[in-house]
Amino acid sequence: MIRVITLLIILAPFVLAAQTDTTGLIVTPHIATPIGKPNGESVSVKINKDGGSIKSRDGRVELIFPEGALSSKANISIQPITNHAAGGVGNAYDFEPSGTKFNKPVQIIFHYVKEELNGTLAELKSIATQSSNGKWYRLKNIVVDTTAQTLTSSIEHFSSYATFDRVKLRPEQANLKVGKAVSMSVVYMNLPDQDNKADENELQWSNEIAAESKWLVNGIPNGNATIGRITGKTNGKLFSAPQSVPDANPVAVTVNLNWVLNVNLKTFKKISLISNITIYDNAYQISVIGVWKDLRREKMGADYYRRGGGGVSEQIITDTSSFILHLDGNKSRITNIQNMFKDSIINRGNCTLTIWNEAIATGVIQIDGIESITVVPANPPKQQSRGITIRFKKPEIIMPDIVVECTGSSINNSMARGYMSTFTVGLPTTISFMEHEMKDYWSENAGIKEYQVIIRPLVDN
């Protein structure tokens, strides 16, 4: 009966206009899902009745305990687990001791990254908790801060928690070879209003609903032969790639939905979702991964890093950039540059890393652009591979001012922080490989690995 009422409420506002289309929003039956399995390193902190906080090792979720939330000191832990929530994004997190109840609500804060907004909006993200029988429930009063990139709510007991997208355009991004096509759909998580009874706050899906819509490709209604077209009926849209790689690439496929929807204390009357589709012919995905290793082990000895007994642990930071190289006949270019330093920080052991100048820091592995791409021979005989050399522009590097702080350490703060100058770093200037080659190698300096290069021919995803 709940499903029927929901459908009637949603369908009633839609009266189609001549210039618009109708899109069927795909949904699936609500079912219990498996409990997630460990998927990362856990972290534990002792918190007493005076309050305190704990953040997951990957920095994606944190809990803030007000004074009086706990009756006595407790060992609080966060374990990343696989996320089986419908519409789930990233890891779920299991908070321990399981079932712990609080005297006062505890604040929960999820941090999202910009890549998680592909195909959706920050304001359409929510938080859910999973019960022991596998059913998911939506948290109420979720506050979305698009500047801090956080979702904040409060919880009254420990369980597993995860973020999910209420509405999503799928695929949210894709690689598509020239002349091929991919199905496009809008997926909707059909949640009751937050003021409904608790037992109706399960993450539940109805069969299908319809919304008034407009589809565009790079701002052009339904696209064209040069950039790609959107075709299809209500229940199935198809994006067909052009026969050659367009100048504007990736192409942005947008769906504008005229739809009344209440999410996170906000009412939407129109929703615009974008999927970026990279059109390619002969192309390569290239990733550069820098590994910064703290050299204090060599300087101060292995005992400095022992766990327990007041020691601290070795710090490792990764910094990743990637891009796509297109070789279209005699033309070459790069697209899809991504510099992911701020999303790549890894905290290890008993220590955490804080960036003081995060707003301006770039990290070291920064792809700022290409100085030149050399392809030899330019016109090879049939079946002959070409040699490719990419020379990067020298980017402006702003080093992060990193503070290392270690809990439970007998070493004072002045010794347990601020060793950024002892990290080894590497900056790629050129990359060379053969056409159609899969390559994976490390650049080394005086026997120390500086950065890893991974080259793969681009394929549909």
Burial 30-44 (b: 16+ CB within 10 A, else e): beebebbeeebeebe
Q: Are residues 200 and 310 in the same domain?
A: no
Strand partners, 52: 65
Q: Are residues 14 and 71 in the same domain?
A: no
The answer to whether residue 152 is domain-embedded is yes
**Would you say 126 and 166 are in contact if contact means Cβ atoms under 8 Å apart?**
yes
Q: Are residues 266 and 345 in the same domain?
A: no
Q: Are residues 331 and 276 in the same domain?
A: no
Q: Are residues 303 and 432 in the same domain?
A: yes
The answer to whether residue 299 is domain-embedded is yes
Q: Are residues 416 and 326 in the same domain?
A: yes
Q: Are residues 315 and 297 in the same domain?
A: yes
Strand partners, 430: 391
Taking the chain, what is the end-to-end CA distance rounded to the nearest angstrom?
39
For position 315, what pLDDT does the model report?
Answer: 56
Q: Are residues 348 and 305 in the same domain?
A: yes
Gap between the Cα atoms of 99 and 156, Å rounded:
10
314 is written with which tokens? 């070795």
CA angle, residues 162, 167, 150, in degrees to nearest 5: 45
The answer to whether residue 202 is domain-embedded is yes
Q: DSSP class of residue 420?
A: G
Q: 150 burial class (0-12, 13-18, 19+ CB within 10 angstroms)?
A: middle
Q: Are residues 208 and 298 in the same domain?
A: no
Q: Are residues 325 and 426 in the same domain?
A: yes
For position 166, what pLDDT does the model report?
Answer: 87
Residue (of 324, 293, 296, 284) closest to 426 by Cα position: 293
For position 201, what pLDDT does the model report?
Answer: 45
Q: Report the CATH number that the domain containing residue 193 is assigned in CATH.
A: 2.60.40.10
Task: Tell me the pairing of strands 228-233 and 236-240.
Answer: antiparallel
The answer to whether residue 36 is domain-embedded is no
Q: Are residues 344 and 244 in the same domain?
A: no
φ, ψ at 199 (rounded to 5°): -75, -5
Q: Are residues 190 and 251 in the same domain?
A: yes
Q: DSSP class of residue 298?
A: H
Q: 351 burial class (0-12, 13-18, 19+ CB within 10 angstroms)?
A: buried
Question: H or E segment at 299?
Answer: helix 296-300
Domain count, the chain: 3
Range of the domain at 130: 44-166
Give me the average pLDDT of each 10-residue run along the chain (461 residues).
Answer: 27 34 59 88 90 88 95 93 90 91 94 92 92 82 93 92 92 96 86 43 50 90 97 84 94 90 81 96 91 53 39 61 89 88 59 68 80 86 84 81 58 42 61 91 76 91 80
Question: H or E segment at 4?
Answer: helix 2-11
**Would you say 136 and 129 are in contact if contact means Cβ atoms under 8 Å apart?**
yes
Task: Spell out the residues 6+ positions from residue 331 whose beta carbon is closer than 8 angstroms to its own.
Answer: none
Final residue belonging to a domain, choices 117, 142, 166:
166
The answer to whether residue 33 is domain-embedded is no
CA distances to 30, 184, 205, 225, 331 from 429, rounded to whole Å, are 51, 39, 50, 38, 21
Final residue belonging to a domain, choices 166, 181, 196:
166
Final residue belonging to a domain, choices 166, 190, 214:
166
For position 340, what pLDDT does the model report?
Answer: 82
For position 416, what pLDDT does the model report?
Answer: 40
The answer to whether residue 38 is domain-embedded is no
CA distances to 272, 273, 275 from 117, rounded to whole Å, are 12, 9, 10
Q: Report the CATH number that the domain containing residue 61 is assigned in CATH.
A: 2.60.220.30
